Amino acid sequence: MKIKVKPEDFVVEEIIDLPISDSGPYTLLKLKKRYWNTLDAIDFVARKFSLSREKFSRAGLKDRYSLSTQYLTFRGDFKEIIKEKNFELMPVGKVSKPILPENLKGNRFSITMRDLSDEEIEKLRRNYTEVSSFGFPNYFDEQRFGSARHRHGFFAKLLMLGHYEGALKLLLCYPYKEDNKRLKIFKKYCAENWGDWDGCIKYTPIEFKRIILFLRENPRDFKDAIKKIDREMLNLYLLAYQSYLFNEVLYRIIKKIGSDTVEIPYSMGKFVFYRSLPNKKLLMDLKIPMLNDKTKLSDFTGEIISEVLKKEGIRLRDFKLSKMRFRKVRFKGFLRSAIILPEDFYIGEECTDEIYKNKRKILLRFILPPGSYATILIKRLMI
């Protein structure tokens, strides 16, 4: 089975709730892209038109390996229609406030699954019936863990423990496969010449330049060097670790409550999926906290969270990051559903795959809530 063979095989469109008018302080923009991540596209436009990136807001992030349509807002007038290779940006109207995650009501997916055998088609249809009845676990998938795909640990965890030099090494020294050539050269030099900030500056890409320039003047002040990282990126690094902890908690809950479970590995650990639920209502109603220093440890979920914290060697108070004194960078606490039932779930008729000889393809359509991963649903359909 294969997905994302080409961007048009993985189509996603944001469903937003934000009233549009002919006037207002913000311009609503539609971004249609492939092979770009959302932040890089915003960065490109800001640099090209000499605009502050702070003027752009977004509701969500979309996978670079998809054909995605999402919405941004710009503070002020934005009249240009931008057509670049693999992305388009155009104004669609005016709004009274910037777009925020709470304006995102869901994502509509249209996914072509390819290279399917007859046995996989049969499995897919059986699992479609099970998922339609019992939903699937709302794990975060691999895309959320880009900053830890080198498998040397989480930046945010080292930050919590006060290991500032180690946190910077994770960021500056360990490459992963999605890094471009220049970034790999820079990280290789940093790893082999840690502390030679004069030498590093020759290879430093723009996103790390402020850090290296600071370290040239303050060679051992790793704590304040971390404050030179873009705030939005820092918040994403924190969210990556929160997401891993959520997965660990949900894994243990499914092991306790699910029936006829199946485990599959992923880069950060294991997912466990169920085929049915003896107590469906319990999990359908269950919300799991994204952890921060204000999280309350109550009922059986609190017991499981305590197990995970003990395994990780951290405490709730560590989430406060009080020694860092960040501005607008923090672990944000909120609740996330344990399981998801896809809406408007449709599976088409299989047909000949024009790319893979003697194999079949099939189309899936569905709507998921914000923050839920279509790739997790695909994994569940193929167990």
CB 145 within 8 A of CB 243: yes
For residue 212, the model assigns a pLDDT of: 97
With a cut of 70, say whether residue 323 has pLDDT above it. Answer: yes
* Residue 50 confidence class, pLDDT cut points 50, 70, 90: very high
Spatial separation of the C-alpha atoms in residues 163 and 224, rounded to whole Å: 12
Q: pLDDT-derived band of residue 149, with 50, 70 and 90 as boundaries? A: low
3-class state of residue 334 by DSSP: strand
d(CA 139, CA 376): 7
110-144+241-381: CATH topology is Pseudouridine synthase (3.30.2350)
Q: What is the mean pLDDT of residues 265-286?
A: 93
pLDDT digits (tens, 9 = 90+) for 256-269: 998 899 999 999 99
pTM of the full predicted structure?
Answer: 0.92
Q: How far apart are CA 195 and CA 220, in angstroms?
A: 8
Q: Where are the domains of the chain?
A: 19-98, 110-144+241-381, 153-232
- Rounded mean pLDDT of 192-203? 96
Please state which CATH class domain 153-232 belongs to.
Answer: mainly alpha
Which pLDDT band, with edges at 50, 70 and 90, does 146 fall under?
confident
- Check 22, 43, 63, 77 and give the catalytic one: 63
CA–CA dist 72, 99 (Å, integer): 7
CATH number of 19-98: 3.30.70.3160
> Is residue 178 predicted with pLDDT exceeding 70?
yes
Range name among 23-32, 278-287, 289-298, 344-353 with the lowest pLDDT average: 278-287
Q: Do domains 19-98 and 110-144+241-381 have the same CATH topology?
A: no
* DSSP per position, 232-244: HHHHHHHHHHHHH
Instruction: Decide if pLDDT at 88 tops 80.
Output: yes
- How far does Cα 203 stand from its chain's mean position? 28
- Please state, as a whole number, how many other Cβ atoms lie within 10 Å of the Cβ of residue 207: 14
- Taking the C-alpha atoms of residue 222 and residue 55, their distance in angstroms, rounded to an integer, is 29
Question: Is it the case that residue 197 has pLDDT exceeding 90?
Answer: yes
299 band by pLDDT with thresholds 50, 70 and 90? confident
118 is an active site residue: no
- Inter-CA distances, 201 with 185, 188, 210, 225, Å: 12, 13, 10, 14
Comparing 107-121, 166-180, 236-250, 282-296, which segment has the lowest mean pLDDT? Answer: 166-180
Q: DSSP strand E in the chain: where?
A: 10-16, 26-33, 56-58, 67-75, 82-84, 87-95, 104-116, 136-137, 262-266, 269-273, 287-290, 334-337, 339-340, 343-347, 351-352, 360-368
Q: pLDDT averaged over the chain? A: 94
pLDDT band at 148 (very low <50, low <70, confident <90, very high): confident
Q: What angle do CA 203, 207, 209 make, to 5 degrees?
A: 55
Report, as an integer, the average pLDDT of 327-333.
Answer: 92
Q: Tell me how crowded residue 45 is: count the other CB atoms within 10 A of its CB.
A: 22
Percentage of residues in the chain with pLDDT exceeding 70? Answer: 99
Angle at 260 between CA 268 and CA 269, to 5 degrees: 5
The burial class, CB within 10 Å (0-12 / 13-18 / 19+), for 302 is: middle
